[in-house]
Structure formats: structure tokens, C-alpha cells
């Protein structure tokens, strides 16, 4: 690939971000916490962070001027009901307490609220006899998980299970327990193989391909996605999320136009891996595509952008 002038590229990226209205306050870095450190094979350059090093990791994020993180947990072991997801001393709860005690209000902490990283099936709901997802039983567990994260100090709880009524169930639990975390709902989480690189880290021992299409949104139907989003807004979500990012930016604009509501977008592991893999072969310019990905998400109207590229692009802001 032809080498270009690095200095003029840098100026171009700065101009591109400035004209898209992007600020560092729009950016959120996803931190994957685990008990032991390891690189994620299908996400070159990305590692999971052990809880004992979480403050160090968050300091490096704060040093680049980013003041929001979202925590995804990979526990040491799983059990049939995913009980470590709501354990007071679970991996996410420990990480949140540690970050909040070191950084206080200088770092906003959101948490992924789900059971799929903690149970044996890898599904986001509890499976009843007959193999069906038991929506209502799952709501009770999600409410318990969210409350345990809020008790540990999370500023934002972010349910990602795509169960019906999850926003209302969690809001009610937080209210009853006088916990004041705000709620970011993964409202339109599309069934997608773009989650595979993250899943390969979270589900290292699982061999079967997980089909979550019975509760996640289909990519081809914007009406269903908009209905899910409207329901979550009506149930009291403080912000709604669309995930993955780049193939769903039309939805971001539709939501802004129709509901004029705060929208977050998650640029997922597969979107990261595609750019990294092509760049490693010299087929695309990595820096340009990182910057353009983030700028296009902002251009579509996202108020918060969760991306593994956040730390790399912060220098242009």
C-alpha cells in the first residue's frame, strides 16, 4: 500500500471529526473483565482485563481523555442458573467497586446485564422444560443482576437479554431498592455473526453455534426494531441502543427522527475484527477506516458510541 503523508492524514481526521460534531464525551470504551489476562485471538490487539488490574486499565483509558466505560464480564465458571451474575462479589460487581473507589465520578461506569456469560447454555434467557426461553423467570434474574451492579456503584445498567418487559422489571427493582442507576437498554440487538470474536473469548469451551434469533431482532425488518425501541422508551429506558453499528445506521437516523431520544450504538467485535484483519494484510488503511467508522456512526445521530476503536481515535479529538 502506498504510504501517505501521516501529518496531513492526521489533520484530515481531525477535520472529519470536527465536522461530524464528535466529542470525546460521546465515546465509551468496552472493557472485558475476566479472572486471568489473555489476548483475544480474533480481536488483534485486544485483551481481557483481570479485576486486579482494572484500575490500571481504566487509568490508561482516562489518560486518553475518555470518561465512560461499559463492563462485560467473563466469570471463572458457569452454573445452570448463572448465579455468579448476581453475586455481590461477582466479577462485574468487583470491577465496578474497584473503578468507582479509584475514579469516583470522573469515570462513568455502565454494565452489561445478562446471564449468557454465566449460565451453561449461553442463552440470554432461562430455558424451561421443552427448550423454550422462560421470559418471566428471566426478568426476575435480570432485575437482580442490575440491582447488584447498581449497589456496587454502576452509574448505568444496560440489559442486553432482549427479554420482553426487561426495562420495566429492572426500573421497578431499582426504584423499590432506592438505587439510582440510569438504564441503557440494548433495545435493538440484532441476531448477528458479528458477535463471534467476542463470543470466542466468552464461550471458549462452547462448540455449538448459538442461535438467538428467537429473541434478538432480525436484520431485515426495521419495523420490528423500531417497535422494540418504542416499547423500551415507554417502559422508561433512559437511553436506547442499536447493535451492531455500521450496517444499522439507517435505524439510528430513523430513531432520532421519529422519537428524538438518546441513542447509543455499539460497534461490535466483528466490526473491529474485519478492519483489523484486512489492515493486517495491507488491503485497507486501518487508521482511515477506524476514523470513518466512528465518524459515520456520529453522522447518523448516535449520542454515545461504544467501540473498541475509541482509544485509538481519541487523539484526533
> Closest approach of Cβ 145 to Zn ion, in Å?
11
How far apart CA 14 and CA 21 sit, in angstroms, is: 11
Cβ density class 91-128: b for 16+ within 10 Å, e for less: bbbbbbbbbbeebeeebbbbbbbbbbbbbebbbbbbbe
- Least separation, in Å, of the C-beta of 159 and Zn ion? 9
The three grid cell numbers given for residue 101, joined into one nine-digit string: 473507589
Q: At closest approach, how far in Å is the CB of 271 from Zn ion?
A: 18
Stretch binding Zn ion (CB under 5 A), from 4-12, 15-23, 100-108, 122-130? 122-130
| Comparison of 124 and 229: residue with beta carbon closer to Zn ion | 124
Contact window for Zn ion (CB under 5 A) among 89-97, 121-129, 131-139, 182-190 = 121-129
Told to check if 114 binds Zn ion by CB under 5 A, we report yes
Our answer to whether residue 41 is catalytic in this structure is no
Instruction: State yes or no: residue 154 binds Zn ion (CB under 5 A).
Output: no
Which of 189, 212, 276, 290 is labelled catalytic?
A: 189
Q: Is 189 a catalytic residue?
A: yes
- What are the DSSP calls for the chain, one per residue? -----HHHHHHHHHHHHHHHT--GGGEEEEEEEESS-EE-TTSTT-EEEEGGGHHHHHHHHHHTT--EEEEEE--S--BTT-GGGS-TTSHHHHHHHHHHHHHGGGSEEEEEE-STTTBSS--SSEE-TTS-EEHHHHHHHHHHHHHHHHHHT-SEEEE-S--TTHHHHHHHHHHHTT---EEEEEEEEB--GGGHHHHHHHTTT--SPP--TTTSBPTT-HHHHHHHHHHHHHTT-SEEEEES-GGGHHHHHHHHHHH---EEEEE-HHHHHHHHHHHHTTSS-HHHHHHHHHHHHHHHT-SEEEETTHHHHGGG-
Select 145 or 254, whichever has its Cβ closest to Zn ion. Answer: 145
Smallest gap, in angstroms, from Cβ of residue 161 to Zn ion? 5
Question: Which among 85, 79, 139 has a CA at the least distance from the CA of 112?
Answer: 85
Does residue 116 belong to the site contacting Zn ion (CB under 5 A)? yes
Residue 133 interacting with Zn ion (CB under 5 A): no
* Part in contact with Zn ion (CB under 5 A); list of ranges 61-69, 107-115, 183-191, 264-272: 107-115
Task: Name the one residue in this structure whose C-alpha cell is 418504542.
Answer: 230
Provide, rounded to whole angstroms, the least separation between the CB of residue 87 and Zn ion: 17
Interface pick for Zn ion out of 124, 139, 154, 240 (rule CB under 5 A): 124
> Which CB sits closer to Zn ion, 101 or 213?
213
Does the footprint of Zn ion cover residue 146 (CB under 5 A)? no
Residue 202 sits in the site that holds Zn ion (CB under 5 A): no
Q: Which stretch binds Zn ion (CB under 5 A): 123-131, 194-202, 258-266, 275-283?
A: 123-131
Please say which residue, 26 or 82, places its beta carbon nearer to Zn ion. Answer: 82
Determine, following the binding rule CB under 5 A, whether residue 305 of this chain makes contact with Zn ion: no
- Find the shortest distance in angstroms from Cβ 44 to Zn ion: 25
**Is residue 96 involved in binding Zn ion (CB under 5 A)?**
no
CA angle (296 as vertex; 293, 301 as ends), nearest 5? 135
Catalytic member of 171, 212, 243, 276: 243
Q: Whose Cβ is closer to Zn ion: residue 54's or residue 116's?
A: 116
Q: C-beta of 36: minimal distance to Zn ion in Å?
A: 22
Q: Which residues bind Zn ion (CB under 5 A)?
A: 114, 116, 124
Task: Give the residue numbers marked as catalytic.
Answer: 189, 243
Amino acid at each position: 500500500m502506498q504510504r501517505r503523508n501521516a501529518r496531513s492524514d492526521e489533520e484530515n481526521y481531525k477535520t472529519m471529526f470536527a465536522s461530524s460534531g464528535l466529542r470525546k464525551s460521546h465515546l465509551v470504551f468496552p472493557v472485558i473483565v475476566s479472572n486471568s489476562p489473555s489476548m483475544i485471538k480474533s480481536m488483534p490487539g485486544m485483551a481481557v482485563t483481570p479485576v486486579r488490574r482494572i484500575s490500571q486499565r481504566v487509568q490508561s483509558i482516562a489518560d486518553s481523555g475518555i470518561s465512560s466505560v461499559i463492563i462485560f464480564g467473563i466469570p471463572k465458571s458457569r452454573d445452570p442458573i448463572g448465579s455468579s451474575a448476581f453475586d455481590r462479589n461477582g466479577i462485574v460487581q468487583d470491577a465496578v467497586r474497584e473503578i468507582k473507589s479509584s475514579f469516583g465520578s470522573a469515570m462513568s461506569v455502565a454494565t452489561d446485564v445478562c446471564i449468557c456469560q454465566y449460565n451453561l447454555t449461553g442463552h440470554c434467557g432461562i430455558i424451561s422444560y421443552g427448550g423454550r426461553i422462560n421470559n418471566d423467570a428471566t426478568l426476575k434474574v435480570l432485575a437482580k443482576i442490575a440491582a447488584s451492579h447498581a449497589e456496587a456503584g454502576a452509574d448505568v445498567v444496560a440489559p442486553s437479554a432482549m427479554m420482553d418487559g426487561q426495562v420495566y422489571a429492572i426500573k421497578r427493582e431499582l426504584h423499590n431498592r432506592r438505587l439510582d442507576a440510569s438504564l441503557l437498554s440494548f433495545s435493538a440487538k440484532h441476531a448477528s455473526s458479528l458477535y463471534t470474536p467476542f463470543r470466542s473469548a466468552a464461550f471458549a469451551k462452547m462448540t455449538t453455534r448459538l442461535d438467538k434469533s428467537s429473541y434478538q431482532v432480525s436484520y431485515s425488518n426495521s419495523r420490528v426494531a423500531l417497535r422494540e425501541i418504542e416499547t423500551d422508551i415507554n417502559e422508561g429506558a433512559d437511553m436506547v441502543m442499536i447493535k451492531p453499528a455500521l450496517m444499522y445506521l439507517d435505524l439510528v437516523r430513523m430513531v432520532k427522527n421519529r422519537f428524538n431520544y438518546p441513542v447509543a450504538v455499539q460497534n461490535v467485535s466483528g466490526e473491529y475484527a474485519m478492519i483489523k484483519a484486512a489492515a493486517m494484510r495491507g488491503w485497507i488503511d486501518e487508521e482511515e477506516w477506524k476514523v470513518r467508522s466512528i465518524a459515520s456512526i456520529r453522522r447518523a445521530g448516535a449520542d454515545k458510541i461504544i467501540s473498541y476503536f475509541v482509544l485509538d481515535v481519541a487523539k484526533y479529538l
